[in-house]
Copies of this chain bind each other. A is one copy, B any other.
Amino acid sequence: MGIKEDARNMKLASPVLAASPIEQRNAALELVARRLREGADAVFAANAQDMAAAEEAGVVAPVMKRLRFDEAKLADVIAGIEQLISLPDPLGVQQLARELDEGLELRRFSCPIGVIGVIFEARPDALVQISTLCLKSGNCAILKGGRETAATNRALFGIIKDAAVEAGLPAECLLQAEAHSEIDELLGCHESVDLLIPRGSNAFVSYIMNNTKIPVMGHADGICHIYVDAAADQDACLPVIVDSKTQYTAACNAVETILVNRAIAGEFLPKLARAMADAGVTLHAEDEVRQIIGCEPLGEDGFAHEYLSLDASVRLVGSLDEAIDHINRFGSHHTDAIMTEDDAAADRFVQMVDSAGVYRNCSTRFADGFRYGFGAEVGISTGKIHARGPVGLEGLVTYKYKLVGHGHIVGDYASGKRHFTHRDL
């Protein structure tokens, strides 16, 4: 059976999962955690296969680290599942209750989106996080993970799906796509799949966005900025900049461009250059900066470049507004920070910068569902439609309007025989 037919069956079964009581969804998550503990050895053995193949293929050390699934990662995902169980049910939440007229009551309730396709990088812990977030939020999910961890994914998926079905959830709740060719098949399932969440490289996410009619949530690039204001506490902001750049360089929320107010350039740039050099970071800039501190020239795409490495661009700006304008033009509306002790400057920055995360005096690396306390995330959205920033349970639900009447007809209101009361209940 192809993905298309599987997706169609999933779509028809999705109201059954949507209607499952929270006790059943939480029981399923508890069983998933238990079965993961019981089946750990098989998962570790599968992971050893993947790791051996990756080593043979010459995969570099930082990527190897992401492929690994060991006791520590198992403990992390189980802690994540436990946090997820403790969160309130995101479904059936009444968001509006209004009497339209006597006996005619409108209510709005949260409900699952339906069928979600998630395509993610080779990180076995991501498979666990994504599938459990979808189960808790009552969404059916089609999962396609990176092929470098195919054996680990298969082992984890088998355990999770079996546990979900054993707990009474419909057999169609989860589906794993394993062949790369199935991605294109999935992109054509606009009649059955309600939302796609692609994670991975800029090029990959852009490919997905350009080749499907299904709504896509996620982000292509992550060009995050830190603006060092004239009123910044210069020494206090250095560790924040270093953390934003180096704590995990391959992450979308790592800083790529540091904007510095020209008024403090002479004093601050040498401090910045020293701190970054100590952290192994190479700076890139235009001549104005290079005349103050020796550093590399900018690359061909200038300030639109996402390094994802121990490199950062530096630029001088004449004012707060110039910094805001630079960020809104060159940024990717992901996460941008201001370093300042001036409340008015911080307020203006937060108001005017058009990004999912607008920070003051802290690291851009905090942009993450776990750090925000969402339990986990399926991804980070730089879109403004539906969910923005880290997407947890709340971003995985929509709502429906329920209207209950007693034979009410619109003709009576159009003719003026009856009038709306519009009274909140």
Interface of A toward B, CB cutoff 8 Å: 11-12, 14-16, 18-19, 98, 100, 104, 106, 113-114, 194-195, 209-210, 213, 215, 217, 233, 236-237, 239-240, 242-244, 247-248, 324-325, 328-329, 346, 350-363, 365-367, 371-373, 383-386, 388-389, 398-411, 413-414, 420, 422
Contacts and interface: CB of A to CB of B under 8 A. Distances in A.
A405 B215 contact: no
Contacts of A210: 213
Contacts of A360: 402-405
A346 B107 CA distance: 14
Given A366-B410, A385-B215, A404 B325 contact: no
B15 A352 contact: yes
A367 B239 CA distance: 54
A384 B194 contact: yes
Contacts of A352: 15-16, 18-19
Nearest to A349: B402
Contacts of A409: 239-240, 242-244, 247, 362-363, 365
B384 A113 contact: yes
Given A215-B215, A355-B400, A385-B386, A98 B407 contact: no
A383 B106 CA distance: 20
A247 B411 contact: yes
Contacts of A359: 402-405
B365 A403 contact: no
A388 B397 CA distance: 11
Given A217-B385, A361-B406, A365-B410, 8 more contacts: A15-B324, A19-B352, A215-B215, A243-B410, A346-B404, A356-B400, A362-B407, A373-B422
A93 to B, nearest CB: 13
Closest 6 interchain pairs by CB? A362-B405, A243-B409, A373-B422, A365-B410, A386-B386, A362-B408
12 contacts: A98-B372, A100-B371, A114-B354, A194-B384, A194-B385, A233-B407, A243-B409, A358-B403, A362-B403, A365-B409, A373-B420, A388-B398
A273 B205 CA distance: 54
Contacts of A16: 352
B324 A407 contact: no
B236 A407 contact: yes
A407 B228 CA distance: 13
Contacts of A407: 233, 236-237, 239-240, 361-362
Contacts of A410: 243, 247-248, 363, 365-366, 371
A98 B375 CA distance: 14
A386 B113 CA distance: 10
Nearest to A237: B407
Contacts of A213: 209-210
A93 B317 CA distance: 31
Nearest to A113: B384
Contact of A12 (B242, B328, B384): B328
Nearest to A216: B215
B194 A411 contact: no
B366 A12 contact: no
Contacts of A389: 400-401
B388 A385 contact: no
A324 B244 CA distance: 51
Given A194-B384, A215-B383, A399-B388, A404 B361 contact: yes
Contacts of A365: 409-410
